[in-house]
Chains A and B, each alone.
Chain A
Amino acid sequence: MVGNHPSLTVSPPRARLMPRTVAARELAIVVSRRRALAIKAGLPLLLAIALVAGHAPTFWAGMLLTVLVAMVGAVGTAVTVSRAREAGFLTRLAATPGSRPRLLGGWVLAAAAVDVVQLLPVAVAATVTGAGSAQSLAVLAVALAGALIVTNVLGCVITLAAANAAEVLLDVVVVLAPLLYLGGLFTGVPASGWRAAAAAADPFSHLHSAFIGALGGTPTYSPAVDVVAIAAAAAVAVAALVILSRRILERD
Chain B
Amino acid sequence: MSAVASPQAVGLLTTPPAATAAVRADGVVRRYRNGRGVGPVDLAVGPGETMALMGRNGCGKTTLLRLLATVSRPQRGEVSWFDGPAAPARAHIGLALDGALEDGGLTGRQATYFWCAQWISARDEVRTRTDGLLDRLGLAAAADAAVGSYSFGMRRRLALVAALVHDPLLALLDEPTAGLDPAGCAELAVILAERRERARSTIVASNDPGFVEAVAGQVTFLDEGLVVRCATPQELLDSLPRGRVAELVTHGRCDAAGLRRVAGVVDVAVAGSSAMVRFDGDSTIAALVAAADAPGGRLRELRLRRPDLGDCFRELTGQMLEDGHWSATTPA
Query: Interface residues, chain A, CB within 8 Å of chain B?
Result: 2-3, 5, 7-13, 16-25, 28-30, 32-33, 84, 87-89, 91-92, 94-99, 102-103, 105-106, 109, 249-250, 252
B141 touches A18 (CB 8 A): no
* Most B C-beta atoms less than 10 A away, residue of A8, A92, A109: A92
A33 to B146: give the CA distance in the assembly, Å.
Answer: 11
Partner of A29, one of B10, B97, B103: B103
A25 touches B71 (CB 8 A): no
A8 to B149: give the CA distance in the assembly, Å.
Answer: 6
What would be 28 A-B contacts, judged by CB atoms less than 8 Å apart? A3-B141, A3-B142, A5-B151, A5-B154, A8-B142, A10-B141, A11-B107, A16-B110, A18-B114, A20-B2, A20-B117, A20-B126, A21-B4, A25-B2, A25-B106, A28-B106, A87-B103, A88-B100, A91-B69, A95-B90, A95-B93, A96-B3, A96-B90, A96-B118, A97-B119, A98-B3, A98-B118, A250-B72
A8 to B148: give the CA distance in the assembly, Å.
Answer: 9
CB neighbours of B162 from chain A (8 A): 92
B144 touches A16 (CB 8 A): yes
Which residue of chain A has the shortest Cβ distance to B73 in the bound complex?
Answer: A250
Partner of B97, one of A16, A91, A96: A91
CB neighbours of A96 from chain B (8 A): 2-3, 90, 115, 118-119
With A19-B113, A92-B162, A97-B91 known to touch, is A2 a contact of B72 (CB < 8 Å)? Answer: no
CB neighbours of A99 from chain B (8 A): 3
A5 to B143: give the CA distance in the assembly, Å.
Answer: 13
> 7 nearest interchain CB pairs?
A88-B100, A98-B3, A29-B105, A21-B2, A8-B145, A32-B105, A22-B2
Within 8 A of A (CB), among B70-118: 70-73, 87, 90-91, 93-97, 99-103, 105-107, 109-110, 113-115, 117-118
Partner of A97, one of B5, B69, B151, B154: B5
B106: shortest Cβ distance to chain A, in Å? 6
B71 touches A97 (CB 8 A): no
Say yes or no for B19: interface residue by CB 8 A criterion. Answer: no
With A19-B110, A87-B103, A97-B10 known to touch, is A10 a contact of B145 (CB < 8 Å)? Answer: yes
With A32-B105, A95-B90, A250-B71 known to touch, is A13 a contact of B143 (CB < 8 Å)? Answer: yes
Say yes or no for B211: interface residue by CB 8 A criterion. Answer: no
A29 to B106: give the CA distance in the assembly, Å.
Answer: 6
* Most B C-beta atoms less than 10 A away, residue of A5, A89, A95: A95
A7 to B96: give the CA distance in the assembly, Å.
Answer: 26
Partner of A20, one of B95, B100, B103, B114: B114
CB neighbours of B72 from chain A (8 A): 250, 252
A99 to B1: give the CA distance in the assembly, Å.
Answer: 10
A8 touches B91 (CB 8 A): no
CB neighbours of B3 from chain A (8 A): 96-99, 102-103
A89 to B3: give the CA distance in the assembly, Å.
Answer: 16
